[in-house]
A and B are shown apart, each in its own frame.
Chain A
């Protein structure tokens, strides 16, 4: 393995930083981010089921093994507890592992390693064993896949002290958030919206966020994706694109919808929630995960805490249902659709106190 690490110095040398704007799919943006992280940090390792030779079932790690060698980009046995257990050990030894569980539902067998070891090793060791592990999890539904391939685990992971949770909504966010997450000293659960992998969008390389907001700073916190006056839609991952569609439709009816991409699901950007909802005075939170104990409840409480006096209506939640994620065509009935989100907006618009 030491040879493989030395070789990466060559890869680092031939890589110039990217500038300007490129049109990429989210799959290409993630692949590029991994490529750059591997080139920049010789301690970075990328691995998981089919991540090496095949390049991943979604092609996210395509070509990386050929470029960085089997010592740094490799296939693992079909054993998620092993993938994450090894990640903990590698992190203790000074590596920066970027493991992948092939699908959201495959994270369950590794919950012990994630929750009992990776999340708390830094705490347990009084700060002597940081866990710079970025766990990539192709997440959420929308691709007609079978069971265990369409789950939304953000609330589970957000509840665990020591973990950070983030989900990109488009190729630009995917590139910048993955590069940022992979250079953190803490474990980050990186939830990739698999139904958006193939959608293209502009990636601006020079700065993660437009000047004015974070002024080219790191991609922390939430991001306003569309400004509006009457109601705030709060979403993350694949639901951001749907909320932007809804905002376009609502505009036809004279309703001005603000769309806030939460991005980081732990920690949640409470200040951004407060700033948006103080302005619009109405909020609807949208997620694919089931309703009960979903992250929508946390978001609703944060809004209530900061905007209780100015809210015009209780915060609405438009979510999946309290059932196992359905496979096949039924997922269209499960994932919040345009009409359900519009109904939620209508309810907060027509609410009257007293």
Chain B
């Protein structure tokens, strides 16, 4: 298994920090991509951050009221080593299926 850390992103217009309001996931949870992770408040607004990927939550940083700087770790996911890509999905290796049959009279010349 591999761990992937997701730092607090810049939530827009050069903001440098955000305050955690409420965590919507806990360590041990299996989350899906785009699932809301946490509600944070910036000087501009309160926003829910969607998960950038699927994975198991290993650690969360900061409780309600704590400030986190942009770029600092927010949450750490555990993902299988071989599926740690963040874009796309691993294709399944399936037994080949066919509908077309070949027929040929082969003159061996």
Contacts and interface: CB of A to CB of B under 8 A. Distances in A.
Interface string B57-81: 0000000000000000000000001
A59 interface: yes
B102 A143 contact: no
Nearest to A199: B93
A309 interface: no
A339 B101 CA distance: 9
A59 B87 contact: no
Main SS at interface, chain B: loop
A236 B98 CA distance: 21
A59 B2 CA distance: 10
A342 B98 contact: yes
Contacts of B90: 143, 198
A253 interface: yes
B14 interface: no
B4 A339 contact: no
A255 interface: yes
A263 to B, nearest CB: 22
Interface size class of A (residues with CB under 8 A): 35 or more
Nearest to A102: B87
B103 A57 contact: no
Nearest to B106: A230
A293 interface: no
A144 B82 contact: no
Contacts of A245: 96
B4 A338 contact: no
Interface string A309-346: 00000000000000000000000000000110011011
B2 A103 contact: no
Contact of B82 (A27, A146, A149): A27
Interface string B31-58: 0000000000000000000000000000
Given A253-B102, A339-B99, A143 B82 contact: no
B104 interface: yes
Given A143-B90, A230-B106, A59 B85 contact: yes
A343 B96 contact: no
A145 B90 CA distance: 10
Contact of B102 (A58, A59, A198, A255): A255
A345 B106 CA distance: 13
B62 to A, nearest CB: 21
B87 A149 contact: yes
B79 to A, nearest CB: 10
A349 B102 contact: yes
Nearest to B102: A253
A246 B96 CA distance: 8
Contact of A144 (B88, B103, B104): B88
B25 interface: no
B102 A250 contact: yes
Interface string A1-20: 00000000000000000000
A267 B77 CA distance: 44
Interface string A170-197: 0000000000000000000000001101
B11 to A, nearest CB: 18
A248 interface: yes
B102 A54 contact: no
Contact of B85 (A57, A230, A255, A350): A57
Interface string B84-98: 111111110100111
23 contacts: A27-B82, A57-B85, A59-B84, A59-B85, A143-B85, A143-B90, A143-B91, A149-B87, A149-B88, A198-B91, A199-B93, A246-B96, A248-B96, A249-B96, A249-B98, A255-B104, A339-B100, A342-B100, A346-B103, A346-B104, A349-B104, A349-B106, A350-B104
Ranked 4 nearest A-B pairs via Cβ: A143-B88, A145-B88, A349-B104, A342-B100
Interface of B: 2, 4, 81-91, 93, 96-104, 106
